Structure 1
Amino acid sequence: MKFLIDNWYLVLTAVISGGLLLWTSFRGKAGGVSTAEAVRLLNREKGVLIDVSEPEEFAQGHAVGARNVPLNLLTTGEPIKQLPSNKALPLVLMCKTGARASRAAGILRGQGFTQVVPVAGGLAAWREASLPVEKSAA
């Protein structure tokens, strides 16, 4: 006990550094999944890729195979045909930066979808990972 009292600053440093390590690991999960994990969910778990960008943004460029469901459409409570009827399928959400996708994830969980994850970094991270992107016909 005398060691702890005499070296309180060492103990405090160890506790703070451990707390920071835990915080960053939890923060990484809350911010979304990596592009590699997103691809795994899409390919192996039969996930559905949903882009919550506005139609104009979606037309300028989106991940290949993505379905466009704008964020404001999710808040109406109306049935959306682009969403799968099986609420247990993984939904991988994307937008330009990932911010809207994170909000959309909360909305969709509230609607009963059980596996909803945003892509951390959004379309920018998708492009950075050299994953396929396409533009819609105008």
Structure 2
Amino acid sequence: MTFDELLAFAGRNVFYVIALVGITLALLYTEVARLFRPFKALRPAGLTVLINRENALVVDFSAINDFEKGHIPGSKNVVFSQFDPDNKVLANAKSLPVVAVCRNGQASEGAAKRLKAAGFEHVYWLEGGIAAWQQADLPLVKGR
């Protein structure tokens, strides 16, 4: 295919070209944003290593009913709507590794940003949340 043929194709299929450019820009933006986020993303295996080796504090931002249905062993529940980086659960953890977790990873990503902005030194985020933890066949604890 020559450059002239490519230009002719683009002229005949403007919608496809716009869609391709849009998707490419969205992917680039996502990847660049990932590089510059102020916290580190973890997968479930990485979280287990962090818990076992560095005694990480896992903070679950799920709703109370969801937390009681199943959470990572040893995690503390902080309801996202009442989240304050200076609350008593987090007060003494500014120098410890702190991992933000929720059901699917969306609310906890915002919480991780807020923790880092509040001066927490080692902030992590469980990518994919509890759903990813379950997919990795790792245990959950029920109740409080």
TM over 0.5: yes
The one of 59, 80, 87 equivalent to 1:80 is: 87
Q: Which runs of 5+ in 2 are unaligned?
A: 1-26
Equivalent-residue separation in structure 1 for 2:82 and 2:49 (angstroms): 27
- Match of residue 52 from structure 2: 43
Equivalent-residue separation in structure 1 for 2:66 and 2:89 (angstroms): 17
Q: Is the 8 A contact 1:74 1:107 kept in 2?
A: no
Please report how far the alpha carbon of residue 86 of structure 1 lies from its aligned counterpart in structure 2 after TM superposition.
3.4
- Match of residue 34 from structure 2: 27
Q: Is the 8 A contact 1:32 1:102 kept in 2?
A: no
Q: Which runs of 5+ in 1 are unaligned?
A: 1-19
Equivalent-residue separation in structure 1 for 2:134 and 2:91 (angstroms): 25
C-alpha spacing 1:28/1:135, structure 2 compared with 1 (3 Å)? farther
Q: Please list the CA deviations of residues 26-48 of structure 1 after superposition, one character each: whole Å capped at 9, or x if unmatched.
A: 73895821111111111111211
The one of 99, 103, 108 equivalent to 1:96 is: 103
Equivalent-residue separation in structure 2 for 1:80 and 1:53 (angstroms): 16
Identity %: 34
Please report how far the alpha carbon of residue 54 of structure 1 lies from its aligned counterpart in structure 2 after TM superposition.
1.3
Aligned length: 119
**What's the C-alpha RMSD, in Å, of the aligned pairs?**
2.9
Is 1:52 equivalent to 2:83 in the alignment? no
Q: Please list the CA deviations of residues 21-69 of structure 1 after superposition, one character each: whole Å capped at 9, or x if unmatched.
A: 9x75973895821111111111111211110111111111111111001
Q: Is the 8 A contact 2:57 2:93 kept in 1?
A: no
User: Partner of 1:62: helix, strand, or coil?
Assistant: coil
